[in-house]
Structure 1
Amino acid sequence: MTYEQPQLVMIGPRKKTAMDRRRIRGSCVREEQAEKVLEAVDLSGRSLETVVPRPSMNLMIICKLDLSNNNIKMIPESLIARMLNLAVLDVHSNMLRALPNSIGCLSKLKVLNVAGNYLESLPKTIENCRSLEEINANFNQLSRLPDTIGFELTALRKLIVSSNKLVRLPSTTGHLTSLRHLDARLNCLRALPEDLENLTELQVLNVSQNFHHLRSLPYSIGLLLSLVELDVSYNGIGALPDSMGCLGKLRRLRVEGNPLVSPPQEVVQKGLEEVKLYLSEKMNNDHVSPREKRMKKEWIQKLVKCGTFNSRCRGGAHGYFGEDDGSRKSWSNSSPRSIAVFSPWRLFSPRRHSAT
């Protein structure tokens, strides 16, 4: 008994019929010249071990290919290289250990789902898929991501790499300027990239459950001006960066499971606004080492440039904050809640401010 390998079977491919064709500038499009309609092909859940395209098949007409929930161990290079109009590739829940290098030919690819496989790395050629908007690679064996991913995939909006073995994120992550959702939980991350300030569109950041590996967050996290949700729970973080007091749009913060000293637990239990207030007040503390002061000064200059602070704030020797509208308020006499938005210049004043 011979075993026949399953072949790639098109579901519903067709040419435009006479009803589909439209008159263009008064002339009919001839049937033999009519373009074929782009098709979605669904081969999910069929216990396939491999996919072999028929030689006569026109793979150019496929815009979406779903091979999920099968037993596929390898995708032929020739199959991917011929799907030049492919926009969505879904191969989640298979047995893949590698993706074909020809994936770099998919210049129109927008969504890539490779979750639930055995991938140890993504091919470097994925950097050529410059239309990519979403990558889901959770539940794999990834130990690294391509180093220059941030320079090339500037259209990427969603990156999900949870439940892998990542020790670090690429240093170019900060160049993913369109990124809105980053999920890197359940890895072995030891640190986040320092220069996150360009991720101005990022709304959701989840780096939870990296356990004892992740012990600190970068100061630049305070420049994520669009951040709405931040989950850093179940790590080894002892102190949150003071800069997080500037996250004005932050609405959800999870920090449980960390050995936090700053802010203390009694502040954390009072809620998000109290945490931000505590960090803001701490930022204004003059009792810091010269090294910390230099670091804060460099970071504050970036905040001012980003517009986090009102350019008309009064600080330094004046000891005032807010706009100069003739009704100045004294920093020292203001209530604690009034200093949630603080003056960066006050940090580096040569003298303490006394009440007026």
Structure 2
Amino acid sequence: MKTLVILSIVALSSATSLFENEFLHFLKDWDIWQQDPPQNTSDISQSEQITIPAPTADYRFFTCPLNCVCQVRVVQCSDAGFKSVPANIPKGTVMLDLQNNKINEIKEGDLKNLPSLYALFLVNNQISKIHPKAFRSIKHLKLLYLSWNLLPQIPNNLPTSILELRIDGNEIKKIQKGDFQGMKFLHVLEISGNPFDTTDIEPDAFNGVQRLMYIRMSEGKLSSVPKNLPSNLYELYLDHNRISSIEREDFRQYKDLCRLDLSYNKIKEVENGSLAYLPNLRLIHLENNIIKKVPASVKELKYLQALYLHNNNISKIEVDDFCPKESGMKKLHYSGISLFGNPVKYWEIQPASFRCVSGAHGVQLGNFKK
């Protein structure tokens, strides 16, 4: 009898190790360990700390919702035809996948028994309403994907622990003060494909959002560059909008910006000095607009490496359009400049115009065809 007990303990310990290894593989696959931790945790209460207890051996005996696939702390219910969040989701679930269903509402009690939830995917449903208390019991949620639903506004009372929020392809017409209240860890915001204009972004909408580094507001109705976004942005994507000009003060507060996408707009003019506020800019997309000349501020950007200007109305290239006259000003050479699809006669361009481009294939030219 004693031998049987010892063998049972050994088997149980072995099973626990196996579950932990599988869970670590899941975390690695979803880049959970790669998230930036808070730089200063002294002001974070114990309730805000990220603690995901290790799965126990008896996790093998949970019940899985019908039409779902359950692994260790991962529940996959995508493409199952659900019209509501299924019941009996295991309490220890860390990732819940409900993509591509027909869910039209997240009710107050749908997620109440999921305190360890880390990632929630609700992409491509028919959600038009989320109860204000739906996330009340979730304290550790980091990834929330609500893309391609019917939400008319940013849901109220989202978990303040969120690192990445994707809510593109909805029907949001206004970004209001309080929409991101308390979300001091938010790093990534994808809000493209919503019908709001620049004037629909309230001045204080992003108050308190201190670590937001990536914003994508593509495929919308923006008529100008928003001036009230967080100042510490690293990447800003405003492509496929209705922006008609870049004014001098548009980028004054975004001094840390490294990537900027303004392609597929209606930009006719980039005002002199407007890009000079972006000393760290590495890449800028200005293709597929109606710009008539190379923006004057481009040559002042010491670290700019990639410049996309194809499919515009540029008819002439001056010898100092890309490179400063002073040889010591340009810190990094261009790795690529695209100019094809412009009415410029490439045989009239002086070779010295590209003196600060590295490599023979760094410039892309082509015949202009209407």
Shorter-normalised TM range: 0.5 to 0.7
Who is 1:100 aligned against? 155
- CA pair 107-255 structure 1, distance change in 2 beyond 3 A: same
The secondary structure found in structure 1 opposite 2:144 is strand
Residue 134 of structure 1: how far off its partner (Å)? 0.5
- Helix, strand or coil at the partner of 1:169: coil
Does the Cα contact within 8 Å between 1:151 and 1:176 map onto a contact in 2?
no
Residues 1:168 and 2:221 are matched in the alignment: no
Q: How does 1:288-307 map to 2 (within 5 A)?
A: none
Structure 1 position 146 matched with structure 2 position 202: yes
Residues 56 and 209 (structure 1), Cα distance of their counterparts in 2 relative to 1, 3 Å cut: closer
Contact 1:92 1:116 in 2 (8 A): yes
Structure 2 equivalent of residue 134 of structure 1: 188
Q: Superposed, which structure 2 residues align to 1:1-356 within 5 Å?
A: 6-7=84-85, 9=87, 11-14=89-92, 39-54=94-109, 57-103=112-158, 106-128=159-181, 129-143=183-197, 144-149=200-205, 151-173=207-229, 175-177=230-232, 179-192=233-246, 194=249, 196-211=251-266, 213=267, 215-217=269-271, 219-260=273-314, 264-265=316-317, 275-277=321-323, 280-281=324-325
Matched residues in 2 for 1:107 and 1:142: separation?
24
Question: Judging changes above 3 Å, is the alpha-carbon distance between structure 1 residues 8 and 217 closer, same or farther for their aligned structure 2 residues?
Answer: farther
For residues 289-344 of structure 1, give each alpha carbon's deviation from its aligned partner in whole angstroms, at most 9, with x where no partner exists. xxxxxxxxxxxxxxxxxxx799xxxxxxxxxxxxxxxxxxxxxxxxx79x97xxxx
Partners of 1:167 and 1:189 within 8 A in 2:
yes
CA 1:309 to 1:206, structure 2 compared with 1: closer, same or farther past 3 Å? closer
Shift of residue 82, structure 1, vs aligned partner? 4.2
Cα 1:59–1:53, aligned 2, differ >3 Å: closer, same or farther? farther
C-alpha offsets along residues 265-289 of structure 1, whole Å, 9 cap, x if unaligned? Answer: 476xxxxxx7422xx34x9xxxxxx
Task: Report the 3-state secondary structure (helix = DSSP H, G, I; strand = E; otherwise coil) of the residue aligned with 1:159.
Answer: strand
Q: What residue is the counterpart of 1:297 in the other structure? A: none
With the length of structure 2 as denominator, give the TM-score of the two structures: 0.58
Structure 1 pair 56–78 and aligned structure 2 pair: CA distance change class (3 A)? closer
Structure 1: give runs of 5+ residues left out of the alignment.
Answer: 15-37, 268-273, 284-307, 311-335, 341-356
Using the TM superposition, give the Cα deviation of residue 166 of structure 1 relative to its aligned residue in structure 2, in angstroms: 1.1
* Aligned-pair CA distance for 1:92: 0.7
Q: How high is the TM-score relative to the length of structure 1?
A: 0.60
1:180 corresponds to which letter in structure 2?
Y
Between Structure 1 and Structure 2, whose CA radius of gyration is higher? 1
Whole-Å separation in 2 of the counterparts to 1:130 and 1:10:
32
CA offset at residue 217 of structure 1? 4.3
Cα distance in structure 2, aligned partners of 1:199 and 1:224: 7
Between the two proteins, the alignment pairs up a number of residues equal to: 251
Which residue identity is paired with 2:98? L
Q: Which string of whole-angstrom CA distances, capped at 9 and with x for unpartnered residues, describes residues 164-185 of structure 1?
A: 0012233233x521x2211101
Distance in 2 between residues matched to 1:158 and 1:247, nearest whole Å: 21
Higher helix share: 1
For residue 118 of structure 1, what is the amino acid of its counterpart? Answer: E
- SS state of the match for residue 96, structure 2? strand
- CA RMSD in angstroms comes to 3.5
Structure 1 pair 256/65, CA: closer, same or farther in 2 (3 Å)? same
* Secondary structure of the corresponding residue to residue 178 of structure 2: helix
Change (3 A) 1:101 1:192: farther
- Change in 2 beyond 3 A, CA 1:75/1:225: same
Distance 1:145 1:247, change over 3 A: same
Q: Distance in 1 between matches of 2:111 and 2:147?
A: 27
- The alpha-carbon distance between structure 1 residues 228 and 5, as it changes in their structure 2 partners (threshold 3 A), is closer
The residue type paired with residue 243 of structure 2 is: L
Name the % identity: 20
Q: Distance in 2 between matches of 1:97 and 1:156?
A: 23
Unaligned runs of 5+ in 2: 1-81, 332-351, 357-370
Partners of 1:228 and 1:249 within 8 A in 2: yes
